[in-house]
Structure 1
Amino acid sequence: MLILLAEVNRLVYAPLLLAAVSLVYAGTRHEDLRSILRHAGSFGVWTVVFMAAIAAVIEVLAFFQ
């Protein structure tokens, strides 16, 4: 039961970490707040899609193992 709670705890911090990384990355590229937020949003979506694609590949490989 403790291991399950540990995994949930990691997932709670994932959106906050993604938002922080996206904002910092976008802040290094732009100076205008509107540009930063737009770039952070697109970078965040791109990161989630990329991570989902990698997870899908891993699941497919695990299925055929």
Structure 2
Amino acid sequence: MLPMTPVYMLYFIPLLISISFVYAGTRHEDPKQILIQAWHTAYWILAFMGMIFALLWVVGWFL
């Protein structure tokens, strides 16, 4: 099994930004509202991914 290097995490940043802006852009037309919604979406995605990472890390510790 190949280990994942930290360089692969750099692909997550543009993906997070694009998902957040597309999601916000489909719900609002005002640029200010799009930026606010994009920030909230990015925060939600980061929190969700962080919880999954923490769960897998803890499970990996005990295996």
Which TM-score band applies after superposition, normalised by the shorter structure?
0.7 to 0.9
Q: Return the alpha-carbon distance in structure 2 between the equivalents of residues 40 and 12 of structure 1.
A: 19
Unmatched 5+ stretches in structure 2: none
Q: Return the alpha-carbon distance in structure 2 between the equivalents of residues 8 and 57 of structure 1.
A: 19
User: Structure 2 residue aligned with 1:11, among 9, 12, 34?
Assistant: 9
- Aligned CA RMSD, in angstroms, stands at 1.8
Percent sequence identity over aligned pairs: 37
| One-letter amino acid of the structure 1 residue matched with residue 20 of structure 2 | S
Question: TM-score normalized by structure 2?
Answer: 0.85
Question: TM-score normalized by structure 1?
Answer: 0.83
Count of residues in Structure 1 that have an aligned counterpart in Structure 2:
62
Unmatched 5+ stretches in structure 1: none
Larger fraction in helix: 1
Q: Return the alpha-carbon distance in structure 2 between the equivalents of residues 10 and 63 of structure 1.
A: 22
SS of equivalent residue, structure 1 residue 30: coil
